[in-house]
Structure 1
Amino acid sequence: MKREVQIISTKLMTPTPRKNYVRRENVLKKLETLYDYKLVVVKGSAGSGKTTICSSFVKENQEFSIAWITLDKENNNVFSFWYYMLESMRVYIEEIKDIISLFQMIMHKDDMKRIIVALINLLSTKDDITIIIDDFHYITDVDVNKTMEYFLKHSSENVRIVLLTREEPKFYVGDFLISGRLLEIGEEELKFSADEGFRFIKDTLRMDLNYEVIHDMNMLAEGWIGGLQLIALARSYHKNDCTQHMKVLNKYMITYLSKEILDALEEDEKDFLVKTSILSYFNEEICNKLLEKQGTKEIITRLFQKHLFIINLDEDRGIYRYHAIFQQFLQHSFKRLEKEKQKKLRLRAAEVYERCGDFEECIKQLLEMQCFEDALRKIEVHGQNPQGWSYLQHIPLTCIVQNKEMTFQLIFYHYCNMEFEQCTEILNIVYEGESGHHPWRVFEFCKALIEENNLQLDVLFINEIEDMDISDVTKAIIYVELSFFLRFQERIKDALYVLDKASVLEKRMKNPYVKMGILSSLCQIKEELGDLKECESLYKQLFQVIEQHPFLSALTVTCHIGITGIYLKRLQLEEAEKSLQHVQGDEAVVGKAYLYNLMELQFLKGDKQQANETIRKLQTFEVYQNELFISSILKYAIHVDGEYAQQLDQFVLMYKQKKEKKKLRTEDKLLYAQILLQKGHVQESLQLLDEVAEFTRKHKVKVLLIEALLLKVLILGNDMQKHKRELLNLLREAVHYSYENHILLPYLRIDKQIQTLLMLLKEERLQDLNEREREFLYTLLQLGDHDKENILLSNRELEVLKVLATGASNKKIGEQLCISISTVKTHIINIYSKLHVSNRVEAIKKATEQGMMNYINPN
Structure 2
Amino acid sequence: MGLSRPRLLELLSDAIRRPFTLLCAPAGFGKSSLLSTWAAEAVEQPIAAWLVLDEEDNDPARFFEYVRGALRSAGIEIGGPAARTHPGAASPSAKDRMAVLLDDLADLTQPVMLVLDDYHLVRNAELDTALAFLVEHAPENLRLVMATRETPRFPLARWRTKEWMSEIGADQLRFTQEEASAYLSRSMGLTIEPQSLRALAARTEGWIAGLQMAGLSLQRHIEVQGSAQLAQVVSAFNGEHSHVIDYLAGEVMRLQSRELSEFVRKVCVLDRFCAGLCDAVTGRSDSSALLAAVERGNLFLQRLDDQGRWFRFHQLFADFLRNGVDEAEAFELHRKASAWFEAHDRGPEAIKHALAARSDADAVRLFRQQVEELLARGELPTLLAWLEMLPTTLVRQHQDLAGYKAWLLFMSGRTTEAMEYHGVATALAALPDAPEPPEILFSLQAFIAINSDQPELAIELSQQALSRLGNTTSFFRLWPLFYSGLGLLRTGSTREAAEVLRQALDLGWSFGHRLTALDALGHLIPLMSGQGQLREAKLLCEEFLAQCSPSDEAHAPISGLLLIPMGMLAYERNELREAVELLEAGTGLCKRLGSVFHALAGTCALAKAFHASGMRDRAWNAIAAARELADRSRNPRRRRAVLVASADLHLRDNNVEAGRLALEELGPALEVAVEAQLLQVRVLLSSGATLPAMRMLGGIEAACRDQGQQGTLISVHLLQALGHRANGGRAATLEHLDKAISLAAAGGYVRPFLDADAELATLLRHASLGRSAFVEELLGAVRHPAQSPAASQETAPMQLTRTQLEVLVLIGKGLGNQQIAEQLVITVGTAKWHVSQIFEKLGVRNRSQAIAKARELSVL
Structure with more contact order per residue of length (Cα contacts < 8 Å, sep ≥ 6):
1
Report the TM-score range of the alignment, normalised by the length of the smaller protein: 0.3 to 0.5
What TM-score, normalized by structure 1, do the two folds share? 0.46
What TM-score, normalized by structure 2, do the two folds share? 0.45
